[in-house]
Structure 1
Amino acid sequence: MKQEEDPLDAVVRLRIRGLRQAKGWSLDALAARCYLSPSTLSRIETGGRRIALDQLVPIAKALGTTLDQLVEPLEDEDVVIRPAPADSPGLTTWILSNEDSLHGVTVAKMRITEERASAHPEGGVHPGREWFTVLSGTARLRLGERTMLVRTGQAAQFSTMVPHAVHAHEGTVEILSIFDHDGERAHLHAG
């Protein structure tokens, strides 16, 4: 008989099955790795058995995930991000990730105009690495003494311990950038 369950239980069951299938494992293969019987595991996946914490820990470990990730609640507000533009001279920024984003990185879309070069001509330095891809236009990337053009569809990745600046080249450029904590503070929350 199928148990009456809350929505989180259903999500956990789907995650277990999905992770197992993604690894190409049968019920028998996963059951052997987490020391449960295949029939118990089958009933857990289908809702025929209540999920017990002492079963979830070895299942999560066998699937190469954590208990926290396996039972993480599914919330609609985490799915759709509605960024608000933040403007400064020559730069409009939209934060495209949540505050508690994966691995502590921030994703931002940036529209840079030629005005940015005169408003912020100097390059900054901070710990970490930076990555961006050009969505439209051409970016002029200054790394120390070198200047490179990064065109639509191209990407750049570099150490941020080198003085660096990204400006528009001959018009407006739009980029998608990924920052670690230090990069976010230096580029998105400076001043």
Structure 2
Amino acid sequence: MRKRIRALRVAQGWSLEDLATRARLSPSSLSRIENGQRRLALDQLVTLARALDTSLDQLVQTDTDDVVSHPVADGVHGLRWSVKADPGLSVVRKRMTDPPSDHPARLRAHPGREWFVVLSGTAVLLLGDRRFRVETNQAAEFPTMLPHAIGAEGGPCEVLGIFDRDARRGHRSDDKPPPQER
């Protein structure tokens, strides 16, 4: 934790005096905290977390050895990874070959947030009544309350999508065929 405090301070480009002023500590007290020569009280941790613009949880989290995560196979979306920064986020890598369906039942609208980056090929994002081409190395973020669909244009396309918990729920039934028109 002491190393994390120092690393966050240095990353901000702050001197001991800069952080000490923000945290209402003396520079010598902060130096002793960073060097392990002084015990930290809970109220000091809270103050330091605020001064460093981070959460108390992030400041005190233990180091972990599980840096590499393994995907979970998802029959609908391909491979899925959980993002440790927020347990509600999912990362999905998907290869698409078909253009997006503009059938109203295939356009999804739901709460949440979605982002995607095109790894290869060209993707098409249908968003409401608009059509966007998103090419390799371009990304899109869009309001998911608008009806939307994503597909490929001119051949296969591979995307990396990031969904928050609400957006993920909105796509759970993507594998169901659209209802038949009467």
2:30 is matched with 41
2:158 is matched with 174
Quote the offset at 1:115 in angstroms: 8.9
Aligned in 2, Cα 1:27/1:101: closer, same or farther, shift over 3 Å? closer
Residue identity opposite 2:71 in structure 1: P
2:149 is matched with 165
Equivalence map 1:57-136=2 (5 Å): 57-77=46-66, 79-88=67-76, 92-98=77-83, 101-102=85-86, 104-114=88-98, 122-136=106-120
Structure 1 segments unaligned to the other structure (5+ residues): 1-11
Q: Percent identity?
A: 51
Larger helix proportion of the pair: 1
Between the two proteins, the alignment pairs up a number of residues equal to 172
RMSD: 2.6
d(CA) in 2 for partners of 1:36, 1:102: 31
How does the TM-score come out when normalised to structure 2?
0.79
4+ aligned runs moved over 4 Å, structure 1:
none
Quote the offset at 1:116 in angstroms: 7.9
1:5 is matched with none
Greater Cα shift, 173-182 or 27-36: 27-36
Residue identity opposite 1:180 in structure 2: D
d(CA) in 1 for partners of 2:46, 2:113: 35
How does the TM-score come out when normalised to structure 1?
0.76
Superposed CA offset, 1:80-107 (max 9, x none)? 111133234xxx4222333x54384322
Quote the offset at 1:30 in angstroms: 2.1
d(CA) in 2 for partners of 1:101, 1:63: 18
